[in-house]
Amino acid sequence: AYYDIPLYNQGDINPDKLTSFQQQLVNSLNGERMVVLVVPEYDWTMPAELANFIHRMGDRPFIHLFDKKVFALVGVSSGKGGRQPVVQLTYILGKIIGFFELETFVSSKIFESHFTKECLDENGNSLGNTAYDTGMEKFVNYTINSAKRWLTSF
């Protein structure tokens, strides 16, 4: 499947006529209680495709995909970076949550994956960087514990 979320001037997304890619996205979010978004940094911001996806799917026909969930965010960079796109995404998710009065939580703890190519192989396996592995483990544990506490109310 290829990315085919239309821009605003290209028309609305019809929930009854989703492309296979759009249906795959909806299916992957529908019913999930925790969503981890791994966000690569491109020139100090998130990829345009991710921003467009959030803006288009974070609207009335699809807003249920964002309700009663815990979002956790990972910023990825090939160098020292990754924080800025996650901060921007936190803001956008917060606006969607507030505007639609959703019962959703965006974790305040993020994981910044610096120098990712030196820490993970092409399949995502650790290359043995202790500081990286420890940071990731702390992030995962915090995220799971936060989700358990938050989601017990639903």
Are 75 and 113 within 8 A, CB to CB?
A: yes
Question: Quick check: 7 pLDDT over 90?
Answer: yes
Return the DSSP state at 73: E
Compute the distance between CA of residue 124 and CA of residue 67 in angstroms, rounded to an integer.
29
The confidence band for 146, taking pLDDT boundaries of 50, 70 and 90, is very high
Question: Quick check: 10 pLDDT over 70?
Answer: yes
This prediction has a pTM of 0.89
Mean pLDDT for the stretch of residues 94-110: 95
Mean pLDDT for the stretch of residues 66-79: 94
State the pLDDT at residue 154: 60
Domains recognised in the chain with CATH numbers: 15-151 (3.40.50.360)
The confidence band for 47, taking pLDDT boundaries of 50, 70 and 90, is very high
Q: What is the dihedral of CA 83, 84, 88, 93, to 10 degrees?
A: -10
Are 92 and 106 within 8 A, CB to CB?
A: no
